[in-house]
């Protein structure tokens, strides 16, 4: 399995932010991770990417336990965090070269890969600008470029299109579709059309528990729209 989560729980004080969730993603799947604000999506993603320790349960990425085998797990993951933290004073190319070095890349293979992700993410015209000078959509492209720079098998994208205009949303979706061709992708979103446009399968969580895990095809057969299903399960 590319991602395997078993009975995962995270407790903050008295609150169970996620409460015994389990799911798995096979290689090559693109799965939408839905849930209302505060459902536990970012917490799950932070555990998968090694930024938070679970209180209970096991999370594996590319069969590596994220707690006991953090280095190989991290190498196989590309992560775009929710607020896409970037170094605003760095130039786009400089930032990507810097990020690649953190993954142990160097020399001409790194330069070639940076050129490749710049082209994939439509950053050619902006690559000489400082990140702080870019629009939100272009910053998001830089975050995405950084997430798959080291060619990971698994991409974890936390609300990759939030706050973007409809044109940028469309363009970022294209980047995700292209980058996700040979990868396993778990991404969170509040946009139902996004799920329809990109995913094979949807996992819905509410109050820290998985309330639905189905293919889009199976959900369509219910006759209800994804939005109706979402509201019915989370309201
Ligand atoms: N560091 C923290 N300390 C205490 N509680 C936290 C912390 N981080 C998250 N929480 C709580 O855990 C719950 C799940 O939060 P999380 O950010 O995972 O939700 P989410 O599904 O990603 O929400 P959103 O859609 O708003 O981004 C929320 O109730 C949140 O307030």
- Give the pLDDT score at 87: 87
Reduce the secondary structure of 105-140 to three states and give it as a string: CCHHHHHHHHHHHHHHCCCHHHCCCEHHHCCHHHHH
Distance CA(52)–CA(54), nearest Å, equals 6
- Give the pLDDT score at 105: 94
Distance CA(132)–CA(114), nearest Å, equals 19
Query: Smallest Cα–Cα separation from 143: which of 170, 165, 175?
Result: 175
pLDDT, tens digit, 9 for 90 and up, residues 207-226: 999 999 999 999 989 999 99
Distance CA(28)–CA(99), nearest Å, equals 25
Are 99 and 92 within 8 A, CB to CB? no
pLDDT, tens digit, 9 for 90 and up, residues 71-100: 999 999 999 998 877 889 999 999 999 999
Beta carbons within 10 angstroms of residue 114's beta carbon = 23
Closest ligand 1 atom, residue 82 Cα:
27
Ligand 1 atom 11: residue of nearest CA: 17
Whether ligand 1 lies within 6 angstroms of the CB of 43 is answered as: yes
Regions of the chain short of the pLDDT cut 70 = none
- Give the pLDDT score at 136: 87
Q: What are phi and psi of 50, to 5 degrees?
A: 85, 5
- Residue 206 makes CB contacts below 8 A (sequence gap 6+) with 35, 36, 39, 233, 234
DSSP characters over 76-114 = TEEEE-TT----TTSBHHHHHHHHHHHTT--HHHHHHHH
| Domains of the chain in sequence order | 1-76+152-166+179-235 (3.40.50.300), 85-151 (no CATH)
Distance from the alpha carbon of residue 38 to the mean position of ligand 1, in angstroms: 5
Distance CA(187)–CA(160), nearest Å, equals 8
- Count the helix, strand and coil residues of the chain and give each as a percent rounded to the nearest 5: 40, 25, 30
- Give the pLDDT score at 16: 94
Whether ligand 1 lies within 6 angstroms of the CB of 14 is answered as: no
Residue 134, both tokens: 């870019």
Angle at 83 between CA 109 and CA 89, to 5 degrees: 60
């Amino acid at each position: 399995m590319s991602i395997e989560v078993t009975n995962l729980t995270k407790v903050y004080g008295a609150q169970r932010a996620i409460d015994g969730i389990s799911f798995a993603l096979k290689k090559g799947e693109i799965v939408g991770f839905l849930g209302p604000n505060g459902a536990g999506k970012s917490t799950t993603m932070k555990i998968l990417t090694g930024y938070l320790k679970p209180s209970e349960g096991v999370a594996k990425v590319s069969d590596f336990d994220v707690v006991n085998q953090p280095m190989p797990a991290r190498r196989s993951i590309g992560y775009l965090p929710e607020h896409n933290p970037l170094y605003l004073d760095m130039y786009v190319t400089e930032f990507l070269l810097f990020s690649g070095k953190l993954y142990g890349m160097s020399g001409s293979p790194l330069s070639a890969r940076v050129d490749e992700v710049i082209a994939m993410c439509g950053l050619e015209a902006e690559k000489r600008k400082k990140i702080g000078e870019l629009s939100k959509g272009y910053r998001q492209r830089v975050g995405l470029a950084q997430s798959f720079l080291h060619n990971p098998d698994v991409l974890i994208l936390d609300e990759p299109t939030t706050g973007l205009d409809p044109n940028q949303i469309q363009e970022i979706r294209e980047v995700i579709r292209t980058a996700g061709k040979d990868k396993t992708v778990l991404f969170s979103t509040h946009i139902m059309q996004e799920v329809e446009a990109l995913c094979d399968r949807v996992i819905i969580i509410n109050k820290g528990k998985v309330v639905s895990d189905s293919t889009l095809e199976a959900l369509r057969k219910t006759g209800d729209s994804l939005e109706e299903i979402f509201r019915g399960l989370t309201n």
